[in-house]
Amino acid sequence: MDKQSGKMLNYRQLMRHLDYREQWSLSSANEFGRLANGVGGRIKHPTNTIKFISKNEVPHGRRKDVTYGQFVCTIRPEKAEKNRTRFTVGGDRINYPGEVATPTADMLVAKMLFNSVVSTKGAKFMTLDISNFYLMTPLKRPEYIRMKITDIPEEIIREYKLRDKASPDGSIYIVATKGMYGLPQAGLLANELLEKRLNGHGYRQSKLVPGLWKHDWRPIQFTLVVDDFGVKYIGEEHAHHLKESLEHDYKVTTDWTGNHYIGITLDWDYNRCQVHLSMPGYVKKALKQFQHPPPATKQHAPFQCARINYGAKKQYATQSSTAPPLDKKGKKYIQQVCGKFLFLGRAVDPTLLCPISAIASQSAKPTEDTLRQTKQLLDYLSTQEEAVLTYHASDMKLAVHSDASYLSEPKARSRAGGHFFLSNNADIPPNNGAILNIAHIIKHVMSSATEAELAALYIMAREAVYIRIILEEMGHKQPPTPLQTDNSMADGVVNGKIAPKCRKAMDMRSIGCAIVSAKNNFASTGGRANSTTQTTGPNTMLQNTTRTHAENFSPHTSWWKCYDKNNLPTLRQQHNTFIQY
């Protein structure tokens, strides 16, 4: 990002910019040196991943598979080399015949591991990073890349005598014999080789949860995201064992503080058994990228709240916007804002999920109203303090709150929301930081508020089953999971207290919710899932989201129990979720 203009600069712009050309030319030369056979004597261990060749050295049968190369430039303050240039391959042009899907942990698994650390006596967290992870794996077949010689630093051109190999149109051809970033097969090949090597030291990857690893007997487990290890350990000698096992084959960077993982800053408080998750500077940098000025007046609502029509006897569906459509530039702007802040919402600030979902649902055909909603979201982010999500010690028992809002979206759609957290094994589990929040527009048109609540319960129960599997793979056995709803009719339909004569439209969701059974029924009331289904005004939104601690809910709740899979007749896997009947 240009410090003066706030605009994002790509590789070619950086190489032409007077203020940045020298430092990024050096970074690019170092990248080619790592990939090839060194440069200027600066690279101690080049990987010999690529070799510069002439056009006539490309086999005729592979010329249709020749792809392009591009550069990704980032600033990584936690790395030894702050300015990082990565030469990536255009994987969309490669026709690879084998499997390419790579098992990797997602954010949900990492958050559950954070909870496990603060909830386990004597446990601590550290991170490990394998340098040039993809570049160490031999490919089963070579891949070929073409790029312009003008995109290569002058130092590399001179040292490798590339002008002698350039084609008449100024192109340089490259053959890759080891894994590179962007190759569709590189991740899987690197992961398979890593798994083979770690198996020899007693580390096994879970067969049910991708990216979750444990040792055969040592009290250590970790999540793996590409080449980043988030390690929970009890006793430093076990962490040293993992580190030394990796150092047999890789160059490893260690951070014993464990303060940074998957883009999230972690503030560990082992004395209070807490960890605080944040992303400092993320919002400020993003607002500068979108050149959004601070609002004239403070904005405490991320989205326009629904107007309350007091005394109305009927609820009508939300009408679609009739505002003028945006052009392609405006459409791209909307999509960029949604993509940028979706990660922030999933990581630490769940108040963003509902407005981003509402805006993203219009991004295919955005209007002036969509742009106004986007500006309000940016005003809200500019006004509020940076969000901090806190996890504290618990019994690691899953609890879920489910909610739905009826006809709150255009085209007569309803919205489902869920709040998943890890708590104690109590009748009323105390709140904790969310490991997962769901803000989902229900695809089908609901015929009533009760059906919307049933659809929400079906979605939350489906997700809860997979989360229970993750927890049990981590070693945290689960009792029946409490699932809270605030709709007494939905509670009655699922628990068999109400037997409607005509409910064909609700049969699918009722059968799906047959995995739950009524127990401890109290009077109905709202739960923590409200903020993921309803766009409320500034008086009810969280202002200045900060470090918060557990709060007990009102005992006036309806509790459902999601029973263990061993007590059910079958277990079917669909994609990444599990459905029990």
Tens digit of pLDDT per residue, the chain (581 long)? Answer: 566 666 777 777 777 777 777 788 888 888 888 888 888 888 888 888 999 999 889 998 888 889 988 888 877 766 666 777 888 888 888 888 888 888 889 999 999 999 999 999 999 999 999 987 877 788 989 999 999 888 888 888 888 889 888 988 889 999 999 988 888 888 899 899 999 999 999 999 999 999 999 999 999 999 999 889 999 999 999 999 999 999 999 989 999 999 999 999 999 999 999 999 999 999 999 998 898 999 999 999 888 877 777 777 777 777 777 889 999 999 999 999 999 999 999 999 999 999 999 999 888 899 999 999 999 999 999 999 999 999 999 999 999 999 998 888 888 888 899 999 999 988 889 999 999 999 988 888 888 888 888 888 888 988 999 999 999 999 999 998 888 888 888 777 777 777 665 555 565 555 455 444 433 332 233 455 665 665 555 544 343 334 333 333 332 233 333 333 333 322 222 222 222 32
Which residue do the tokens 């890759």 mark?
A: 176
Q: Which of 398, 435, 434, 431 is CA-nearest to residue 564?
A: 398
Phi, psi of 362 (to 5 degrees): -105, 0
Is residue 437 within 8 A of residue 420, CB to CB? The reply is yes
C-alpha span between 443 and 430 (Å, rounded):
32
339-227-74-353 Cα dihedral, nearest 10 degrees: 20
C-alpha span between 22 and 504 (Å, rounded):
69
Is residue 178 within 8 A of residue 135, CB to CB? The reply is yes
Q: Which of 186, 86, 83, 197 is CA-nearest to residue 136?
A: 186
Q: Which amino acid is at 173?
A: Y
Helix 282-289, helix 328-347: angle, nearest 10: 180
State whether residue 210 is helix, strand or coil: coil
**DSSP secondary structure letters along 288-353:** HHTTPPPPSS----SSPPPPP-TT-SS-PPBPPP-SPBP-HHHHHHHHHHHHHHHHHHHHT-GGGH
C-alpha span between 294 and 382 (Å, rounded):
6
Strand partners, 421: 399, 434
Angle among Cα 282, 283, 285 to the nearest 5 degrees reads 70
Tokens of 145: 């890349």
For the four alpha carbons of 561, 562, 566 and 570, in that order, the dihedral sign comes to: positive
C-alpha span between 238 and 227 (Å, rounded):
20
Tokens of 217: 């007997």
CA distances from 482 to 25, 422, 424, 465, 512 (A): 57, 11, 11, 12, 16
Q: What is the DSSP letter of 426?
A: S
Give 352: exposed, middle or buried? Use CB within 10 Å, 0-12, 13-18, 19+: buried
Farthest-apart Cα atoms in the chain, separation? 83
C-alpha span between 414 and 404 (Å, rounded):
7
Is residue 213 within 8 A of residue 222, CB to CB? The reply is yes
Number of CB atoms found within 10 A of residue 453's CB: 28
Is residue 255 within 8 A of residue 126, CB to CB? The reply is yes
